Structure 1
Amino acid sequence: MKLLKSALLAAAMSLPLAGTAFAVTPPNLLVVAQNIDDIVAIDPAQAYEFSSGELVTNVYDRLVQYDAEDPTVLAPGLATEWEADAEAKTITFTLRGDATFHSGNPVRAEDVVFSFARVIKLNLTPAFILAQLGWTPESVEEMVTADGNTVTVKYEGEFSPAFVLNVLAARPASIVDEKTVMEHEEDGDMGNKWLNANSAGSGPFELQTYRPGELVRFKANPNYFKEGPKIEGVLIQHVAEAATQQLLLTSGDVDMARNLTPDQIAGITSDDIKVETFPQAAVHFLSFNQKVEALQAEALWEAARYLVNYEGMVDSFLKGQMEIHQAFWPEGFPGSYDETPYTYDPEKAKQILEDAGVETPINVTLDVINSTPFTDMAQSLQASFADAGINFDIIPGTGSQVITKYRERSHEAMLLYWGPDFMDPHSNAKAFAYNSDNSDDNYQATTTWRNAWAVPNEMNEMTMAALAESDPEKRNEMYVELQKRVQETSPIVIMFQASYQVAMDKDVNGYVNGATSDFVFYRLVTKE
């Protein structure tokens, strides 16, 4: 414990903090205890982990982006305005004139072209997000062009401009400083090795230090083109154990603890600590593999929706962690459907099964990740479904074991969660409402294919029509209708939307934690 405190203090004191009588957490430095051992890469062209997403968001900007003032609204970033031509499949962006990189170099249209081309040419994990636009290593520099302070983006495919904008607001669309990056190129890697230890962004914070599995330290960018930052720096200290995070917070050695358990949150009694809850984009669901004959009856799917003890779970072991949500797109974003028509009603479920002639008991295995709260959820489902003669045999496994079975379509029932790759409703619509080829050799990273559900043609067509719809209001209405249909008739029972609780010193204000790790913002944080 003393060693950890010493490390925190040393890291804090290494920041340039004018006029500070050094305490463990100086008034102009936010000190955060967080498990950050998931980070594999911090180069925006490669970063694909939760914690790396937070780093990229605070260090880099995009042409358009979700931002701290309202993380549900797509707002201007490095572009002040844009003009879409749906017929020509182009969007032209006008860049702001007051943005500079941390190096002091101005942000140029050429940096945008370089950044997008770099992602496609490196072809690392998140490249598929931009590649959806029809960009290839051979074509990308013809599809994205610079002219003065404007950038024209062309795309291929029947896409709504709104979809394209959301793709360009995703993590790999972050803009990097071409001149700085290419000064550090090694063996044709376009600066990848260097950017996995350093940064070349224009965002509100500059990466000062990154030590994998140890700490991340930001310093404020005083020349940022928007308001803030309001503090001089952020120190994120890797603390894997929730109990240690709790001790550091309660003793005043950190300002914020990011990974406390619900029991620890419930046990906080100090008036000096507050807890804030943030809805998350991940939805949790129960699904039935349609390769199993006993699970193919639509009456079973309908009955299942009345056999989930939604309130019982969120009022007990899921309290503060999840909220009842029964549609595939998360609440709080355009196009969400937030009605929750299903409640726990075992008598109604039994009647549905009886009226359809479904014979019980039905014995089915249920795969679940062997950790809380998933095992608790599985036990609740086991108890409530048994009331209607559906008997779950719970099979716990590691996350990789469970997901491998899911990808192989070798499970029977599955308890899992799903989060969008980028904040456009098509990201989840494709996962929950589209499967035009259900064959075993047509692997798809969707819940529909993995559950072997041959989605009706009409629903497939609706999904693609919504993707192409250029009118934003009409497009959102189409996604609402899709969610209603999946909610009513699907072997996938969506139950909850995750929530995230963060404990912090009462004097910390302005912290924003949006629906995904890409929407964690420190720019407006103050310490009174």
Structure 2
Amino acid sequence: MDLNRRHIFKAGLGLGAVLLVAGCGDGSSPSEGSDGPPQRGGTLRVGAIGKSSKIERDPHQTLSNESDFLIASLVYDALTVPGTDPNVAPRLASTWEADAQQRKWTFTIAEGARFHDGRPVTADDIVWSLRRLREIAGETKVPVASGDDIQPAGANAVVLTCAAPNSQLPLLLRMMTFVVPAGTTDFAAAVGTGPFRLESYDNGNARLVRNENWYREAPLLDAIEVTLFESPESMANAIMAGQIDLASSVGAVAGRTAETRDELEVIRRPNDVAVAIAMRTSDGPFADPRVREALRLAADREAMVAQVLSGYGTVANDILGTADPEYDTSIPQRGRDLDRARQLLADAEFDTGKTYRLLTKQEAVGEVESAKVFASQAADIGLKIEVVVQESNAFYDRTWLTAPLYTVNWGTNDSVVFFASKVMYSRTKWNETGFRDAAFDKSYTEALAAPPGAEYTAACREIQRIQHDHGGYLVWGMADGIDIASRYVHGLPTLGGYGRVQLERAWISR
């Protein structure tokens, strides 16, 4: 994040995303230090992390690079996007409505929506795009049983039919539904409906210009230039030297340095990224819930936030979705208890004579460091952990979804049900911890079937309780998103996760 998984919600995952409704009241930074109202014009130079070896231009494939995800989300529109309250907002779909059973959802295309080449957006375009996305990524991204469950409803609407009641479909579609003209398989021209259109592209770097005919309020900037940086350090050096105007998701170390520079502003986006440890629950050394509880009790969360995040974050409680309005703050915060952790390992007859590998990769800022810090803390309960850093492609080819112990990162954290759907429900293809729990599945399906209100809240709380008590994640903290901008840049997004990439209300005062 999006939505993708080497990011899905990093972007994207990144994914992870993340987009917001235009306007300062919907998650944009105030125009501090500006003279007068927002100004039109200028080019915003944006730095974003990526690897040349992972460049992907197909918006329906996994977008591992932050730079690719940023470009795609400015060029293409999704049906729905993250918002503030509620946490799902309209985009290419102006409205949506479900039948009484909450199985058939009708999404209406925004009035005046056109592609960059002037063609109006039709139901056939959306059906083609959703079916293609469903074929490539499966039910995880488009939660219907098959492509036949996506049908046109006249010229300007589509109907999605779910296999079971699903009250959260608009939320589950956020940032996954980039729409392209029907029949498109070559994306070099990048014909979308978004607020900016592609003018030029060179090996992951792009120049985007304002779409004057966007169906929403036209962007303020004349252009955005996106530059791919291979590391946060190189991007931080560029913003310090004035070579770019905005360093996106640059990390805490650079943020600390930028705070001493009068010409720069540090923008913190709370609940931006979860860097967690996945423990396989179905088999292997961590299948016993007592062992997983011991690892959670070994973590010194305050120390990890201080050391790994340089204080730019908050302690978490082994639950994904910390910014959800339904997040259950009544669940007691798990703290460090070394005696209890040692006892649990003894009760489980866990072999502390072995050395266990914790696999990680250089992806999210601080991810490798978090593994090393936790390995040091785990030694206090007699657990020997070797941290192994893998190249990202090797990690996703050989480790993700199968290894007993590895780090993960997710860049959208405003929905408990979103995470249940993507990584914990027994039927998801992205079940990172091999979690199979009948009570969890029951609560998840009850949440989808429930209308807003007490019934939905109760189901969400049960999802969280099960995850906290015996799920497969050690979620020790939530990292703030750290952007660094020149003082003359205003109107930047402040939402965490996928909300960070919507720049159509950004403007420059120089």
TM-score range, shorter chain: 0.7 to 0.9
Decide whether aligned partners of structure 1 residues 349 and 511 sit closer, same or farther in structure 2, where only a CA change above 3 A counts: same
1:176 aligns with 2:180: yes
CA distance in 1, matches of 2:275, 2:453: 24
Decide whether aligned partners of structure 1 residues 169 and 526 sit closer, same or farther in structure 2, where only a CA change above 3 A counts: same
1:45 aligns with 2:43: no
Q: C-alpha displacement at 1:132, in angstroms?
A: 3.1
Q: C-alpha displacement at 1:519, in angstroms?
A: 4.8
Decide whether aligned partners of structure 1 residues 326 and 97 sit closer, same or farther in structure 2, where only a CA change above 3 A counts: same
Farther off after superposition, 400-409 or 500-509: 400-409
Farther off after superposition, 328-337 or 52-61: 328-337
CA distance in 2, matches of 1:391, 1:349: 14
1:99 aligns with 2:113: yes
Q: C-alpha displacement at 1:157, in angstroms?
A: 0.9
- Structure 2: which amino acid aligns with 1:227? E
| Contact kept in structure 2, 1:364 and 1:391, CA below 8 Å | yes
Q: Match for residue 123 of structure 2?
A: 109
Q: 1:235-278 CA distances to partner (integer Å, 9 max, x unpaired)?
A: 11223344443333223232112364533332232100111122
Q: 1:397-453 CA distances to partner (integer Å, 9 max, x unpaired)?
A: 3334444554574x44x13114389986444215654448xxxxxx9531232xxx5
Q: Match for residue 290 of structure 2?
A: 299
Q: Match for residue 161 of structure 1?
A: 167
Q: Match for residue 4 of structure 1?
A: none
Farther off after superposition, 463-472 or 497-506: 463-472
1:132 aligns with 2:149: no
Equivalent residue for 2:98, pick from 64, 79, 84:
84
1:464 aligns with 2:411: no
Q: Match for residue 57 of structure 1?
A: 73
| Contact kept in structure 1, 2:312 and 2:479, CA below 8 Å | yes
SS across alignment from 1:101: coil
* RMSD of Structure 2 on Structure 1 (CA): 3.4
| Contact kept in structure 2, 1:433 and 1:482, CA below 8 Å | no
- Residues 142-221 of structure 1: matches in 2 within 5 Å? 143-149=150-156, 151-162=157-168, 164-171=169-176, 173-178=177-182, 190-193=183-186, 195=187, 197-213=188-204, 215-221=205-211
Q: C-alpha displacement at 1:205, in angstroms?
A: 1.2
SS across alignment from 1:306: helix
Decide whether aligned partners of structure 1 residues 507 and 390 sit closer, same or farther in structure 2, where only a CA change above 3 A counts: same
- Structure 1: which amino acid aligns with 2:87? V
Decide whether aligned partners of structure 1 residues 62 and 51 sit closer, same or farther in structure 2, where only a CA change above 3 A counts: same
CA distance in 2, matches of 1:132, 1:289: 24
SS across alignment from 2:381: coil
When normalised by structure 2's length, the TM-score is 0.79
CA distance in 2, matches of 1:287, 1:153: 38
CA distance in 2, matches of 1:79, 1:228: 17
CA distance in 2, matches of 1:154, 1:289: 33
Decide whether aligned partners of structure 1 residues 408 and 66 sit closer, same or farther in structure 2, where only a CA change above 3 A counts: closer
Q: C-alpha displacement at 1:129, in angstroms?
A: 4.3
- Structure 1: which amino acid aligns with 2:153? A
Q: Match for residue 526 of structure 1?
A: 507
Q: 1:44-80 CA distances to partner (integer Å, 9 max, x unpaired)?
A: 333533433322222222333336xx49721222333
- Structure 2: which amino acid aligns with 1:486? Q
- Residues 367-516 of structure 1: matches in 2 within 5 Å? 367-369=358-360, 371=362, 373-407=366-400, 409=402, 411-412=403-404, 414-419=405-410, 425-430=416-421, 433-435=424-426, 444-449=429-434, 455-471=436-452, 474-512=455-493, 514-516=495-497
**Any unmatched runs of 5+ in structure 2?**
1-39
CA distance in 2, matches of 1:481, 1:448: 19
Q: 1:331-381 CA distances to partner (integer Å, 9 max, x unpaired)?
A: 223443455611223244345556x47577453403222547344323322
CA distance in 2, matches of 1:253, 1:408: 39
- Residues 4-83 of structure 1: matches in 2 within 5 Å? 28-37=42-51, 40-46=55-61, 48-49=63-64, 50-66=66-82, 70=84, 73-83=87-97
**Any unmatched runs of 5+ in structure 1?**
1-25, 179-189, 437-442
CA distance in 2, matches of 1:72, 1:281: 20
1:272 aligns with 2:256: no
Q: C-alpha displacement at 1:472, in angstroms?
A: 6.1
| Contact kept in structure 1, 2:401 and 2:432, CA below 8 Å | no
Q: Percent identity?
A: 19
Q: Match for residue 37 of structure 2?
A: none
CA distance in 2, matches of 1:360, 1:387: 15
CA distance in 1, matches of 2:116, 2:166: 34
CA distance in 2, matches of 1:262, 1:478: 36
Q: C-alpha displacement at 1:521, in angstroms?
A: 0.8
| Contact kept in structure 1, 2:67 and 2:227, CA below 8 Å | no
Q: Match for residue 246 of structure 1?
A: 236
| Contact kept in structure 2, 1:365 and 1:395, CA below 8 Å | no
1:345 aligns with 2:337: yes
CA distance in 1, matches of 2:411, 2:370: 22
Of structures 1 and 2, the one with the larger relative CO (CA 8 A, separation 6+) is 2
Q: C-alpha displacement at 1:109, in angstroms?
A: 3.4
Equivalent residue for 1:329, pick from 313, 320, 326:
320
Q: C-alpha displacement at 1:485, in angstroms?
A: 1.7
Q: 1:472-526 CA distances to partner (integer Å, 9 max, x unpaired)?
A: 6633431232112221223532222333211110121111164444751111111
Decide whether aligned partners of structure 1 residues 331 and 457 sit closer, same or farther in structure 2, where only a CA change above 3 A counts: closer
SS across alignment from 1:237: strand
